[in-house]
């Protein structure tokens, strides 16, 4: 199609799409269907405390229909990357409160993402220099941990004892409570991208023979327990869950994911979650990898909203709404360099390109210094 008519076609699509219309998410009314995806930016202090810098960054992006924060550690054991924030101490709660207040003052909505990395860590990042924990002692191959001394190869994790698992579920409950104290609108349970919960779901990483391994019922058990614990704090309608059934991120994988995820959806439906946040295909890569399954099956099986994620462009987002393939659409990297992304997309304004050298760590540069258009 020649450039001129393509621009016209998208101008017309822009006028008719409901991407920029309000939508109900549990008790909230979001002003539009565009979600700021969780993005690791590693600018908290070494105790996992965020501050004014994070409050400024998130408030600049408050016109997103919903913000999901960067992945946030539920415990010291849940940490796998330097300078990632936490949500288990009083100081962290006070630090996050600056963010929720700043976002709410701008009329925005913000969920906190609850994260335990499992094996994707390193003794340098663990309390007492201990081994990271996982369902089984299976190392993430060809992966490196980002430690205070630079990148180091992943180690073989320690398999959790059965009687340690209730403590991890309790850590999720405590973190969920802390997120409530910090003033968030809700929380997202991170059960994707090869981190702890997906390590339990996946037969590549879960070799257990107790009630948390083997059958699909057993492999999904901890996730259902976490959903139960977190919804006891928040109620279902302010909780979402992130899933990536087809990803290979952090050396994760499953020989037959479809029945695992359909079973999980069936088991969590009674909790009335607000949404599933689905990374479609391989994280940051192929949307339809070989051997995958139709992720719309998850959408049809689930009672709440479907949030789609994986390198969406405006055109793809409009198409997903026009074909009713998703309820909410995540944008990640474009939000880094375009704090007013929603307005730019709506008006057809050009997008600024983010600088990857400032994605992680550092301070304000590449974080709060991308200007809005007006």
Positions marked catalytic: 195
Applying CB under 6 A, among 193, 202, 206, 310 the residue interacting with ligand PHB is: 193
Neighbouring-strand partners of residue 86:
73
* 40 interacts with ligand PHB by CB under 6 A: yes
Applying CB under 6 A, among 19, 28, 55, 71 the residue interacting with ligand PHB is: 71
Tokens of 221: 């058990």
* 196 interacts with ligand PHB by CB under 6 A: no
Q: Which is nearer to ligand PHB, 40 or 89 (CB)?
A: 40
Q: Which is nearer to ligand PHB, 71 or 112 (CB)?
A: 71
* 35 interacts with ligand PHB by CB under 6 A: no
* 337 interacts with ligand PHB by CB under 6 A: no
Shortest distance in whole angstroms from residue 242 CB to ligand PHB: 7
Q: Which is nearer to ligand PHB, 81 or 302 (CB)?
A: 81
Shortest distance in whole angstroms from residue 93 CB to ligand PHB: 21
* 296 interacts with ligand PHB by CB under 6 A: no
- Binding residues for ligand PHB, how many (CB under 6 A)? 5
Shortest distance in whole angstroms from residue 114 CB to ligand PHB: 12
Contacting residues toward ligand PHB, per CB under 6 A: 40, 71, 81, 192-193
């Amino acid at each position: 199609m020649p450039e001129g008519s393509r621009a016209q076609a998208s101008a017309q699509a822009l006028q008719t799409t409901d991407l920029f219309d309000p939508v109900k998410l549990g008790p909230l009314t979001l002003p539009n269907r565009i979600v700021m995806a969780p993005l690791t930016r590693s600018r908290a202090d070494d105790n996992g405390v965020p501050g004014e810098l994070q409050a400024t960054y998130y408030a600049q992006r408050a016109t997103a229909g919903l913000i999901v924060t960067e992945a946030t550690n539920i415990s010291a054991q849940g940490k796998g990357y330097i300078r990632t924030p936490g949500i288990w101490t009083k100081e962290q709660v006070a630090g996050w409160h600056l963010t929720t207040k700043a976002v709410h003052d701008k009329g925005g909505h913000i969920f906190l993402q609850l994260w335990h990395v499992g094996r994707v860590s390193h003794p340098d990042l663990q309390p007492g220099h201990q081994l990271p924990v996982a369902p089984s002692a299976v190392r993430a191959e060809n992966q490196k941990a980002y430690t205070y001394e630079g990148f180091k190869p992943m180690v073989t994790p320690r398999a959790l004892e059965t009687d340690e698992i209730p403590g991890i579920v309790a850590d999720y409950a405590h973190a969920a409570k802390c997120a409530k104290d910090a003033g968030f609108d809700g929380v997202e349970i991170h059960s994707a991208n090869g981190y702890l919960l997906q390590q339990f779901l996946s037969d590549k990483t879960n070799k257990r023979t107790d009630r948390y391994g083997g059958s699909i019922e057993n492999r999904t058990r901890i996730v259902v327990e976490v959903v139960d614990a977190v919804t006891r704090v928040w109620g279902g309608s302010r909780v979402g869950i992130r899933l990536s059934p087809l990803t290979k991120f952090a050396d994760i994988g499953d020989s037959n994911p479809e029945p695992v995820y359909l079973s999980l959806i069936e088991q969590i439906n009674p909790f009335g979650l607000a949404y599933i946040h689905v990374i479609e295909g391989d994280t940051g890569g192929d949307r339809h990898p070989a051997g995958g399954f139709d992720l719309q099956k998850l959408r049809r099986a689930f009672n709440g909203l479907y949030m789609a994620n994986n390198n969406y462009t405006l055109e793809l987002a409009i198409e997903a709404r026009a074909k009713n393939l998703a309820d909410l659409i995540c944008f990640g990297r474009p939000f880094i360099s375009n704090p007013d992304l929603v307005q730019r997309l709506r008006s057809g304004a050009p997008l600024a390109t983010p600088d990857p050298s400032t994605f992680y760590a550092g301070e304000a540069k590449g974080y709060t210094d991308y200007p809005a258009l007006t």
